[in-house]
Every structure is written in structure tokens, then in C-alpha cells.
């Protein structure tokens, strides 16, 4: 049976024609003369209203039209009498695909808490909020591919199972087929991974960058867009154990090119969402405004969601070095009053409270921080020629050509750098931080044969979706979140 998506029907359905729609009942309302069904099929946040005369539908069918039931409705598309919609369906037939026992169906036509919806993640896509988020997530993913395709990048698929730890962070999920209760042991009593599936220790990847670099030094410009895994035990609103990362890598790009690309890229995909997800964003904007009203005055955010997105795409990001940022932080009110939880001085890794101070209080716009201390960044970042100094000529320490993009309400959304392309400097650095060069001989080969300046970055896709949807918790912008003690669905 042919049917029309509700989205298409509401946009361009012609009044007077017979149509069929299929979807899930949001509400059923009965008045003296008529029955009103609000149907949603997920193609748009908007429902289509279908109307039957009182007594028209058999009782056994009527009884099964409850919130959550899946039905097909056929009838004539007519101009709507009521407010709220331009067209509606004058029902001639209702077919019940799957009823939803109203005593047991967990979703009711009222506002449920996000915490409760997380417990029923298998059903939450049927709510307005989550269907809006998922459609926006799709649009952003599509915009990512479009952006890179339009700009001459090739989509490179990097491995998910890997024997290297790209970030040197060591927080990885092991992949093994060995029997956990009695693994084979070698003579020194350690697990003998030579007997494992791959004949060596393997893990889920934390980043596709190292392989991405191999691609860039052959194809020129590549990007990855795939799942990444981190076993950090951080139960925050910004961390997932499984998240999607977009990692462009470009030959012949230096730090400044990298920054320019990152800024243009993130603005372009946000602009795409503004242009293509109007209804969904308007809904989330509204939802957020309601939520803001329940907060204390001083905690309410100055801008609405749409305003904030417009602001970000129409203003230049602030760019400064780590050393300049530390200077600002050390002299800030919260530092002087002892209001930061973590102390800040040159050399420390900035905490999210520091990043948020810079973005939300000091500059009031996205910020790109560059040239971080070498010791707090990954081994592959290109070393700066001279140590950092401040305006007063004070000398600090060695830095690398790193860049982090910080966003309001999110903190770090992008992390990247120019890469060390000098073989000797790179291997020396690896030895300093205890990475065996032989373990990634293939990576070092790019520096041995036809090395070139290159740069890239990683955007956490869920953090982007969080920013665009205004959702406070990262677990609410991925269909089925993975976090410590959370892998039910």
C-alpha cells in the first residue's frame, strides 16, 4: 500500500485527494461529534490530525487507537477547521498494525524527565524531543560529509580494532577472544597474547588519526567519521565511552590553516542545521526557554538556542595562545578570590572551569587556544621553535603547535595540531614519553619517505550535536549511549 510521509503531506499535499499515512498515535481526543487522532511518523516534528465522526469507527478499532499504537489511516486530505494545522485527514479507514496497551506503554502524552527517558532509550525516539535531536543529528552528519566532499577531501575508513594507542592515553577497551577465566600464560605469568585472535594485544580505537595521517600523505586531504572508544571512568555530561569523531587530516597545512579550516567547517555545518532543521530547532529552542524559566535569574543563559547558533556562525572565534590564556586566568576574579576548584598556572592542563571562564565570561564567544605546553599534549604534535614567553619577556617552557576549540556550554569541542614531520624530533619525543618507536614503525615510515608538513583535528560529533540542540547531557544526543555501567540498549 502506498503512503505519504507526514512531512511531505503537510508541505505539499493537495487538498481533496485521498491519502494514506502510517505512524504512531500521539493522542486521541473524543468530543461529542468527532474523534481527533494526532499521528506522528517521525518524518517531522509535526503531527497530522485525522478526524472521524462520532460513531463512524467500530468500537473494537476505536478501543485500540491509544497513545503509542501503530496505525495506517486513509482518508481525504481536507482543509482543517481547527487551529494549529492547515490540513487534516477526513478518515475513511483505520488499520491497526500494532496496538500499545495503555496500562503498560511507558510514554504518555505529557512531559517526561530526561532521566526517565534515558531508562527507556528504546522508546524515547518516539518523543518530540528525541526525534528532533535525531533528525538534527542526521542533518549534521550529512552536512559533515557534504562539507568535506565540497572541499576536496576523501572519506577514509580507519580501523576500529587497533594495536596502537594513538593518544598515548592508555584508556582503551581490550579486544580479545581469549577465555577470561583461564587465559594462556607465558613463562613470566603474564597473559600470552600471541595466542589471541590477532596474535597480539588489540583494543578498540581511541582515534583514527595515525592512520588518517597515512591517508593524508597519499591523498592530500582526508577525513574520518567513525566510532571511537575511551575507557575513561568519567561520569560527566561531556563524556561517552563510545562516541563518534570526525578527523580531517591535510598535507601541507600548518597550524593557521588548521584553525581556519576548523572554524569554517564548524560554522558551515551549524549553518546547514539552521537552514534545514527549522521546525526541530524551533521546538528545542522553545523547550529550552521553558527549562530556563525554572532556573534562578542569575543562572539563566543570556541567549536562546537559535540566537546562540546565529551568534556563533556570524562572529569570528577568538584566537590566542595558551600562554596568553593562562595570563588572563591567573589575573581573573575567580582565581584571585580562590573560586576555581583547580589552581591555574603555566604548565597545567586547563580544567573545564577555566575553559568555560574564558569562553563564557571573558570573551563571550568561541575561542581557539594554541601553542600548549609540550608536556600536556600528545607526542605527535609539532614542536615550536622557541619556548613560550609572555609580553613582559618572562620565559616559560617548550610548546607545541596544538589547537583546541572551546565552545560555550561545552568546553573543548575540537582538539588538533600540526604534526611533527621531523623523524628525529618525533622519535626523540616518543622515547621521552615511553612509546616504543618500533611499535608504530609504519607511522614513522611516513616521516622516512616523503615526509611533509601536515595538520588535522578531531571534532567530537556528540559535543557538536549537544551544542546545536542545546542539550545539557551528552547521553541525550546519541541514540544508545555507552557510559560507565550503561550498555543496556
Note the residues at the interface with ligand 4AD (CB under 6 A). Answer: 166-167, 207, 209, 230, 239-240, 243, 245, 247, 412-416, 456-458, 460, 462-463
Kindly state the smallest distance separating residue 429's Cβ from ligand 4AD, in Å. Answer: 16
What single-letter DSSP state applies at residue 317?
P
- Cα angle: 412, vertex 324, 367; to 5 degrees: 30
- Cα angle: 480, vertex 486, 489; to 5 degrees: 40
How far from the centroid of its chain's Cα atoms is residue 294's Cα?
A: 26
Find where cell 591555574 sits: 344
- Out of 75, 226, 415, 460, name the contact with Mg ion by CB under 5 A: 415
Kindly state the smallest distance separating residue 194's Cβ from ligand 4AD, in Å. Answer: 29
**Residue number with CB closer to Mg ion (366 or 415):** 415
23 binds, among ligand 4AD, Mg ion, none (CB under 5 to 8 A by kind): none
Please tell me the distance from the alpha carbon of residue 89 to that of residue 49, in angstroms, as a whole number: 6
Distances from the Cα of 120 to the Cα of 27, 67, 117, 240, 384, angstroms = 20, 16, 5, 18, 50
Kindly state the smallest distance separating residue 213's Cβ from ligand 4AD, in Å. Answer: 9
Q: Is the sign of the CA dihedral 114, 120, 122, 127 positive or negative?
A: negative
**Residue number with CB closer to ligand 4AD (443 or 457):** 457
Kindly state the smallest distance separating residue 26's Cβ from ligand 4AD, in Å. Answer: 32
413 binds, among Mg ion, ligand 4AD, none (CB under 5 to 8 A by kind): ligand 4AD
Helical H segments across 25-174, by residue range: 59-64, 114-119, 128-150
Please tell me the distance from the alpha carbon of residue 213 to that of residue 416, in angstroms, as a whole number: 12
Segment near Mg ion (CB under 5 A); pick from 97-105, 395-403, 410-418, 437-445: 410-418
215 binds, among ligand 4AD, Mg ion, none (CB under 5 to 8 A by kind): none
Residue from 489, 488, 480, 486 nearest 233 by CA:
486
68 is a contact residue toward Mg ion (CB under 5 A) = no
Looking only at the bridges linking them, the beta strands covering 48-53 and 87-98 are parallel
**Residue number with CB closer to ligand 4AD (24 or 229):** 229
Size of the site for Mg ion (CB under 5 A): 1
**Residue number with CB closer to Mg ion (51 or 414):** 414
Residues in region 287-316 near Mg ion by CB under 5 A: none
240 binds, among Mg ion, ligand 4AD, none (CB under 5 to 8 A by kind): ligand 4AD
Please tell me the distance from the alpha carbon of residue 433 to that of residue 379, in angstroms, as a whole number: 7
Q: What share of the chain is helix, strand, coil (3-state, %, to 5)?
A: 35, 25, 40
Segment near Mg ion (CB under 5 A); pick from 1-9, 19-27, 230-238, 414-422: 414-422
Please tell me the distance from the alpha carbon of residue 451 to that of residue 442, in angstroms, as a whole number: 13
Contacts of 341 (CB under 8 A, 6+ apart): 351, 353
Kindly state the smallest distance separating residue 164's Cβ from ligand 4AD, in Å. Answer: 12
94 binds, among Mg ion, ligand 4AD, none (CB under 5 to 8 A by kind): none
Kindly state the smallest distance separating residue 412's Cβ from Mg ion, in Å. Answer: 6
456 binds, among ligand 4AD, Mg ion, none (CB under 5 to 8 A by kind): ligand 4AD
**Residue number with CB closer to ligand 4AD (135 or 238):** 238
**Residue number with CB closer to ligand 4AD (25 or 413):** 413
Looking only at the bridges linking them, the beta strands covering 221-229 and 174-175 are unpaired
**Residue number with CB closer to Mg ion (206 or 426):** 206
Kindly state the smallest distance separating residue 458's Cβ from Mg ion, in Å. Answer: 7
416 binds, among ligand 4AD, Mg ion, none (CB under 5 to 8 A by kind): ligand 4AD
Query: What cell numbers appear for 288 in the block?
Result: 529550552
166 binds, among ligand 4AD, Mg ion, none (CB under 5 to 8 A by kind): ligand 4AD
373 is a contact residue toward Mg ion (CB under 5 A) = no
**Residue number with CB closer to Mg ion (134 or 344):** 344
Q: DSSP secondary structure string, 213-232?
A: HHHHHHHSEEEEEEEEE---
Residue nearest to Mg ion (CB): 415
**Residue number with CB closer to Mg ion (52 or 206):** 206
Count CB atoms within 10 A of the CB of residue 463: 23
**Residue 206 buriedness (CB in 10 A; 0-12 / 13-18 / 19+):** buried
**Residue number with CB closer to ligand 4AD (119 or 232):** 232
- Which residues sit at the interface with Mg ion, rule CB under 5 A? 415
Amino acid at each position: 500500500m502506498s503512503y505519504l510521509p507526514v512531512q511531505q503531506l503537510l508541505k505539499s499535499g493537495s487538498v481533496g485527494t485521498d491519502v494514506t499515512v502510517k505512524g504512531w498515535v500521539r493522542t486521541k481526543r473524543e468530543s461529542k461529534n468527532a474523534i481527533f487522532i494526532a499521528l506522528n511518523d517521525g518524518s517531522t516534528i509535526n503531527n497530522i490530525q485525522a478526524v472521524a465522526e462520532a460513531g463512524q469507527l467500530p468500537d473494537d478499532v476505536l478501543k485500540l487507537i491509544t497513545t503509542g499504537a501503530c496505525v495506517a489511516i486513509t482518508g481525504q486530505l481536507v482543509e482543517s477547521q481547527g487551529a494549529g494545522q492547515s490540513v487534516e485527514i477526513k478518515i475513511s479507514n483505520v488499520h491497526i498494525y500494532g496496538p500499545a496497551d495503555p496500562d503498560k506503554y511507558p510514554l504518555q502524552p505529557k512531559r517526561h524527565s530526561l532521566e526517565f527517558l534515558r531508562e527507556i532509550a528504546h522508546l524515547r525516539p518516539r518523543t518530540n524531543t528525541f526525534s528532533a535531536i535525531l533528525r538534527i543529528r542526521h542533518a549534521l552528519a550529512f552536512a559533515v560529509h557534504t562539507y568535506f566532499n565540497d572541499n576536496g577531501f576523501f572519506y577514509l575508513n580507519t580501523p576500529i580494532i587497533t594495536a596502537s594507542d594513538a593518544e598515548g592515553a592508555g584508556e582503551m577497551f581490550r579486544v580479545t577472544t581469549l577465555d577470561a577465566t583461564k587465559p594462556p600464560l607465558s613463562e613470566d605469568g603474564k597473559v600470552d597474547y600471541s595466542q589471541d585472535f590477532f596474535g597480539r594485544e588489540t583494543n578498540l580505537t581511541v582515534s583514527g588519526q595515525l592512520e588518517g595521517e597515512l591517508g593524508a600523505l597519499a591523498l592530500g586531504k582526508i577525513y574520518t567519521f567513525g566510532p571511537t572508544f575511551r575507557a575513561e571512568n568519567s561520569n560527566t555530561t561531556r563524556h561517552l565511552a563510545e562516541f563518534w569523531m570526525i578527523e580531517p587530516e591535510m598535507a601541507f597545512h600548518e597550524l593557521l590553516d588548521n584553525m581556519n579550516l576548523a572554524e569554517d567547517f564548524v560554522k558551515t555545518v551549524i549553518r546547514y542545521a539552521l537552514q534545514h532543521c527549522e521546525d526541530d530547532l524551533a521546538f528545542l529552542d522553545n523547550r529550552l526557554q521553558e527549562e530556563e524559566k525554572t532556573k534562578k535569574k542569575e543562572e539563566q543563559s543570556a541567549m536562546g538556542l537559535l540566537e546562540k547558533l546565529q551568534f556563533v556562525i556570524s562572529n569570528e572565534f577568538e584566537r590566542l595562545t595558551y600562554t596568553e590564556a593562562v595570563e588572563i586566568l591567573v589575573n581573573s576574579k575567580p582565581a584571585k578570590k580562590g573560586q576555581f576548584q583547580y589552581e591555574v598556572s603555566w604548565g597545567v592542563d586547563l580544567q573545564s572551569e577555566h575553559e568555560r571562564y574564558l569562553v563564557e565570561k571573558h570573551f563571550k564567544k568561541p575561542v581557539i587556544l594554541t601553542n600548549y605546553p609540550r608536556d600536556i599534549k600528545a607526542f605527535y604534535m609539532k614542536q615550536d621553535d622557541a619556548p613560550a614567553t609572555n609580553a613582559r619577556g618572562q620565559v616559560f617552557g617548550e610548546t607545541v603547535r596544538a589547537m583546541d576549540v572551546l565552545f560555550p556550554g561545552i568546553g573543548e569541542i575540537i582538539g588538533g595540531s600540526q604534526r611533527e614531520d621531523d623523524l628525529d624530533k618525533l622519535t626523540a619525543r616518543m622515547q621521552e614519553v615511553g612509546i616504543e618507536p618500533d611499535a608504530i614503525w609504519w607511522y614513522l615510515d611516513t616521516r622516512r619517505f616523503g615526509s611533509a608538513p601536515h595538520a588535522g583535528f578531531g571534532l567530537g560529533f556528540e559535543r557538536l550535536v549537544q551544542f546545536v540542540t542545546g542539550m545539557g547531557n551528552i547521553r541525550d544526543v546519541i541514540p544508545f549511549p555507552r557510559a560507565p555501567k550503561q550498555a543496556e540498549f
